[in-house]
Chains A and B, each alone.
Chain A
Amino acid sequence: MTSALGSVPAGSGTAPRPGGADPQLPVRPHRKRWGRTARWVGWLWVLPALIMYGVFVLRPLVLTVQYSLYRWNGIGTAQWVGFDNYLTVFTDRDLLKIITNAFVLIIFFSFIPVALGLLVASLVRRITTGPGGTLVRTVLFLPQVIPLVAAGIAWSWVLSSNGLVNQLLRTVGLERVTRPWLGEFSTALPSVGVIGTWIMLGLCTILLVTGMSKIDPSLYEAARMDGAGPIREFFAVTLPSLRQEIGVCLTVTVIAALASFDIVYTSTSGGPGIQTTVPGLEIYRLAFSQRQVGLASALGVVLMLLVLVCVLPIQRLTRGEKA
């Protein structure tokens, strides 16, 4: 591993040279030789991190891909099955439903928090720069600080039959609406989604508020001079300027939705039925309780690809024209 890493940069360093000076780099003759050594030294500095990355990220990734081609219980000898596990992932009705659940959660984890976040950010923008700013930011960011497990447990109390939500509904005379929100088939997934919204809203708001504070005030001034009201101002100035922040929000929250585990595990364990089971939970169950390490790995690989498929377009859309 070490030797591979060591030899690679040397090759890449010389590759663009044959044609003469590197076209991208301004040439500084007196530093050229030092530059080459510096590259070596640079790699040396990042070597510990690279080794960690290789052992704890790349190696597991490669192994997961390998496992996904076998039928294996985690202990005994594995049996080569080729792409059978992937076939199962794409044909098993339950597994498809589980993947769909993750996409439903994107609405609650990403779209709603970003939309609400924009609204809240526009409202609190002025406050956050004032003296009470720290307080507002802290309150907004609090859900992010609380461990997801604790949030899941707390929310399962709030949403239980005698929980806060139902108590409130009873107080205002809506007894008929009360129900075990996390235990009923029709409301379980949206209820889990609401927990996600609560957690993600703070993150999105803070990011968006920060983004807004960077917008040049003269743009607003110009807009107002042109006769734009607050709404027009929002769509013409605020929204386009926040392109990158929205991109970050969407990326982070979409990954959180697709790879969710903690909230679901603590609040519903995937029930009732498989109504709230998400790929993360199913991978864990398949690997550790059903001991189908191969199938679990295949689902893991598919999940990774799904995350990439969803996140890369977002990156492209929100980054593309900036430069």
Chain B
Amino acid sequence: MPEYSTRFTRRRLALLVPLLTAGLTITACSPPGAEQTPSGDSDAAVSTELGTDPITLEMYAETGFPLAKALADEFTNQHPNVKFNIREDQFTVIVENAPRVLASDNAPDIIRLPTMVDLVKDGLLKNMDPYFDAYGWDKFPASQLVQLRLADGGAVRGSGSLYGMGLGYSVTGVFYNKEQAEKIGMTQPPATIAEFEDLLAKAKTANLQPIMQFNKNTAGINFPHQALQNQYGDPTQIADWIFQKPGATFDTPAALKATQTIQKWAQAGYFPKDANAIDYTAMMGEFMKGNGTFMFNGDWESANLDKNMAGKAGFFLFPGETADAKNVAMSAPNTFGVGARAKNADAAAYFLNWVHTNDKAREISVNVGGSHPGGPADLPLPAVSDGTVLAETLKASQQLGADNGAVDFTANATGGIFASAITPEMQKLIAGQQTPEGYVKAVQAEYEKELSR
């Protein structure tokens, strides 16, 4: 009987082979993706009228950031005919889903965007140039939207057509614990990198954790790394690299010096010993508990810190090598775009314009999002209470704008650079498993590999 049963299954198994072959021939006729047709550009006339017909805007937003929903609610309040259907996911999930969601039949009207290059190349995003003209967004400071521009069908970022807008424009820098700063004699924010390093040394001597920074899952130490890199060289080099301009490289003296400094800080114990085992949430928890004098992070945490560390946290922009150095910091719009296949593109653009120009909306952007609301330079900023972290980050944002010192995150250079190069290599670097030279070369190698695809 066993003999029979094995033969039996073998015979049936043999039948699978022609089945598989048949399947292969059926599916192999055309290369995958051939049926997709790019439809990014639309020369059709756009309307700046919202109308009164009931509309439901499909929105795809990021979990944990209540700003998008707060703005949507207020918009519905002011325009009752427009309802929102909001789907939320974690940012990494949106990064993974965005292409497929945008290519589907019920593509969202408004979507929180990861790096836009691939999406524009595949014709999945609406070209916003017609709205730019219709709404007169040329009154916005040009630097505000430069990161959202792509030329030549997505080949180069930083110029060309507009493909998104920000729901708030974030700025990054250094948060500090006021009590501990006082303990180590910091009366005002450090004016130079040398002064900052001096404070780190003092904090270490005082048995404090000088910097609380996460490095698990994604490399949080890339924040201080780029803060240093921004100051050690010409930030336009970094911007060119992020914007994928031909010939741009990560292998620069500035990046190397920044990496060497990070290595030095790691060896001196300025980062937590177990940074590679601390994730973002754990870092926030530790810092708010008082474990950590400094923390490199962005203004999206301002409201949170004002609530959970009321009066005890401060913020400053990372200093330069000299006291009169220009302010430079990673700063990026919380980018939202309109799907190329969106059904209500006009209403979506109306909403985005409203977010930048409506008084109430700007107030929500600041108080809920913690970030600069953007919009025309001549519109006043909503008032915030003095002495809060929010007031400090907002001020920093204005300083940065005045110096035109906003640089995008190196982590956004390509879709995979953060996960496949920066994060693992940074984890190696601070554990002494990678040299600064090796780090810089490894990041550049991965960048070239991705661009060659």
A residues adjacent to B (C-beta < 8 A): 4, 8, 12, 24, 54, 58-59, 61-63, 65-67, 70-80, 160-161, 179-180, 182-185, 268-274, 285, 288-293, 323
* Interface presence of B2 (CB below 8 A): yes
- CB-based contact A183/B216 at 8 Å: yes
Q: How far is the CA of A323 from the CA of B28 in the complex (A)?
A: 43
Q: Which residues of B contact A77 (CB under 8 A)?
A: 31, 33-34, 36
Q: Which residues of B contact A268 (CB under 8 A)?
A: 216
Q: Which residues of B contact A184 (CB under 8 A)?
A: 274, 276-277, 431
Q: Which residues of A contact B74 (CB under 8 A)?
A: none
Residue of A nearest to B8 (CB): A24
* Interface presence of B207 (CB below 8 A): no
Known: A59-B27, A77-B34. 10 other contacts (CB 8 A): A54-B19, A67-B32, A76-B122, A77-B36, A160-B277, A183-B216, A272-B427, A273-B427, A273-B434, A291-B99
Residues of B within 8 A of A (CB-CB), count: 53
- CB-based contact B20/A62 at 8 Å: yes
Option from A59, A79, A185, A289 in Cβ contact (under 8 Å) with B415: A289
CB distance from B214 to the nearest CB of A (A): 11
Q: Which residues of A contact B434 (CB under 8 A)?
A: 273
**B interface, by DSSP: helix, strand, loop or mixed?**
helix
Chain B stretch 213-230: residues in CB contact (< 8 A) with chain A: 216-217
Cross-chain pair count, CB within 8 angstroms: 139
- CB-based contact B99/A273 at 8 Å: no
Q: How far is the CA of A65 from the CA of B24 in the complex (A)?
A: 9
* Interface presence of B268 (CB below 8 A): no
- CB-based contact B32/A78 at 8 Å: yes
- CB-based contact A273/B274 at 8 Å: no
- CB-based contact B121/A76 at 8 Å: yes
Residue of A nearest to B420 (CB): A290
Q: Would A66 and B28 be within 8 Å (CB), given that A161-B274, A183-B277 are in contact?
A: yes
Q: How far is the CA of A37 from the CA of B270 in the complex (A)?
A: 79
Q: Give 8 CB contacts A-B under 8 Å.
A: A58-B16, A65-B24, A75-B100, A77-B34, A160-B277, A184-B431, A273-B428, A290-B450
Chain B stretch 30-61: residues in CB contact (< 8 A) with chain A: 31-34, 36
- CB-based contact A73/B122 at 8 Å: yes
In the A-B complex, the 9 residue pairs with the closest CB atoms? A183-B277, A290-B416, A180-B274, A180-B277, A288-B96, A183-B276, A272-B427, A62-B23, A78-B31
Q: Would A290 and B433 be within 8 Å (CB), given that A62-B23, A67-B32 are in contact?
A: no
